[in-house]
Structure 1
Amino acid sequence: MGNLKSLSLFLFLAIVSMLVVDCEVLQPYDARFVDEICKQTPYPSDCVQFLRQDPRSSGADVKGLALIMVDVIKAKGTNTVNKIKQLLKGSTGEKKPLNICLDRYKGVVEINVPEAILTLKAGKITIAEDMAAATSDEAQYCEVIFHGKSPLTIENNGMHVAAEVTRHIIRHLLLI
């Protein structure tokens, strides 16, 4: 009788372990989680690069990944503001579009980013998504106003990519 109980327990544990091993549930702490979320964005390789650079991503859920991406937007926006200020010191003919871009990027850093953080934390997902979309639009507008001669093409394109990745990760929260 003792052997039968031991055998039953052994079989039960063996079956449970096989079920657990075969289960493909991705947890936020799983390294594949970032890859799976990033596949759902328009720029998967950039997404993975942005998120893997931040150690918080290894333990983040979708909201955490979205907040990390908002931090990426903030850093890119701050760097662009600083570059524009440098360009304005030496610029002659580009002052008007540079000043417009400066105002737009200051708005991203001072308005869009804090609003996205607050609304994400409050669960107001569509407003956070709107902030990311507006950021993408600002970067594209800043590129267009130079009529093909932008000194900020790298920054504008980088911000557009980061904002679109952020927007798609935020949108993923609506599916949860």
Structure 2
Amino acid sequence: MKSFIIFLFLVFPVEAFRPTLLLGNLIERTCKQTPFYDLCIWSLKSNPESCNADVKKLAQIMVDSLKTKATDTLDLIDELLEDGLALDPAMRRALTSCAERYNVIIRADVPEITEALKTGNYKFAEKGTNDAAIEANSCEMEFPGKSPLTDMNKVVHDVSVVAASIVKIILNS
């Protein structure tokens, strides 16, 4: 019996029996199937809800992250618009358009994606996450010159793409 236990530890390292490492493996396997591995890993591992998550829950965590990042971006847009004296008309138009786009992400896309994940309509959830990525890119293109939102638009785009990739994993399984 003792030799059997020693054999098990040789064949299966102790780490294999730790649930958190098994979860880490799920997160890592999932994130390897996305185009932004580091962002995916950071987003999922920084959320305590990922501890007991399946792939569907990992997708929802990314959608929640999308909502947070989009809300942060909209808050910055609102601050920039309030500082109207410093803005030329082209910048004001671009920011106003971006505010509309981010409102769509927060008030339409995210709730629709969440509902689609709950009901198992994964194709619709994938479409919604891709739409959010397009909205962020479209915001960036609104600016005639340098955008004050470049970094935030990129993060929203990339988080959306990671969410879409995770939903696609569900679709293909």
Q: TM-score, normalization: structure 2?
A: 0.86
The one-character-per-residue Cα deviations of 1:43-82 (angstroms, maximum 9, x if unpaired) are 0011001111101112100000000000001001111111
Task: Classify the secondary structure of the residue corresponding to 2:99.
Answer: helix
CA distance in 2, matches of 1:73, 1:30: 22
CA distance in 1, matches of 2:145, 2:58: 34
CA distance in 2, matches of 1:127, 1:54: 25
The one-character-per-residue Cα deviations of 1:81-122 (angstroms, maximum 9, x if unpaired) are 111000001132111010000000011000000000000010
State the one-letter code of the partner of 2:136: A
- RMSD in angstroms over aligned alpha carbons? 2.6
Counting aligned pairs with the same residue, the percent is 34
Is the aligned partner of 1:143 residue 2:143? no
Is the aligned partner of 1:97 residue 2:94? yes
Is the aligned partner of 1:115 residue 2:106? no
Q: Which runs of 5+ in 2 are unaligned?
A: none
The one-character-per-residue Cα deviations of 1:14-35 (angstroms, maximum 9, x if unpaired) are 7xx58x949x8xx895221101
CA distance in 2, matches of 1:172, 1:74: 21
Residue equivalent to 2:122: 125
* Aligned partner (choices 159, 164, 168) of residue 171 of structure 1: 168
Specify the structure having the higher radius of gyration (Cα).
Answer: 1
State the one-letter code of the partner of 2:77: I
Is the aligned partner of 1:48 residue 2:41? yes
State the one-letter code of the partner of 2:172: L
* Aligned partner (choices 41, 48, 54) of residue 61 of structure 1: 54
Map of 1:11-50 to 2, 5 A cutoff? 21=12, 30-50=23-43
Q: TM-score, normalization: structure 1?
A: 0.85
Give every structure 1 segment of 4 or more consecutive aligned residues whose post-TM-superposition deviation is greater than 3 Å.
Answer: none
State the one-letter code of the partner of 1:144: M
The one-character-per-residue Cα deviations of 1:105-140 (angstroms, maximum 9, x if unpaired) are 011000000000000010000000000000000000
State the one-letter code of the partner of 1:58: C
Q: Which runs of 5+ in 1 are unaligned?
A: 1-9
